[in-house]
Amino acid sequence: MQPPYLKVNEIFYSIQGEGPHTGMPAVFVRLAGCSMGCDFCDTRYAFAQGTEMSLQDIVARMESYPCRNVVLTGGEPTEQDFPPLASLLKKRGWTVHMESNGAHEADVSAIDFLVISPKKYVCQEMLTKAHAIKIVVGQKSDLEDLKKYFHYAGTHTTVCLQPESNLQENIDLCVDLIKQNPFLRHSLQTHKMANIK
């Protein structure tokens, strides 16, 4: 597959359910593929399944919705050549958000709001560019290891703790950590609670 084609798992219109923009209507473009292989991944269906689409076809589909916020997500969007799509959308007046695991250095110059959710490894450069760092916290998490992300919290970057799978024991863990470190923020997966896509 050569650019300007992207392998797209799905395009849908919904409401951002997690992170600092919870509640924001957005068109989600889920690009296929991710090589990270996390145990708790809730988008495994996007690893292989997808349709090759031209940028023009992607934008035409997106512009059938009455909204100009986009969330580029996956899978892992940086495993495909997403920058031409991000630039095109920006030129057409979209506000471009992207969610990435930050494992690969990428051109994010056309991204208005970059959320990095570090997993097994992460690129330092991507962390410094992030507007939000979203850390998934579960019972198996190494809490001392997660603390290395806390110092990124500041005026440019929000650091959120997100309880894995919305489980109560993970919520309790996050709440304790946030109360001890009040510069952190909580991120629940509200779309799962509300049973919306």
- Sites of contact with ligand SF4 (CB under 6 A): 34, 36-38, 41, 43, 74-76, 101, 119
Residues 6 or more apart whose Cβ sits within 8 Å of residue 151: none
Q: Among residues 48 and 90, whose Cβ is nearest to ligand SF4? A: 48
Residues 6 or more apart whose Cβ sits within 8 Å of residue 43: 30, 34, 73, 74, 75
Q: Among residues 41 and 67, whose Cβ is nearest to ligand SF4? A: 41
Q: Among residues 117 and 157, whose Cβ is nearest to ligand SF4? A: 117
CA distances from 38 to 43, 60, 119 (A): 10, 33, 7
Taking the complex as a whole, how short is the minimal distance between the CB of residue 170 and ligand SF4, in angstroms? 15
Taking the complex as a whole, how short is the minimal distance between the CB of residue 73 and ligand SF4, in angstroms? 8
Taking the complex as a whole, how short is the minimal distance between the CB of residue 99 and ligand SF4, in angstroms? 8
Q: Among residues 139 and 156, whose Cβ is nearest to ligand SF4? A: 139
Two tokens, residue 148: 């290395």
| CA–centroid distance for 96 within its chain | 12
Cα gap 93→124, rounded to integer Å: 30
Taking the complex as a whole, how short is the minimal distance between the CB of residue 71 and ligand SF4, in angstroms? 14
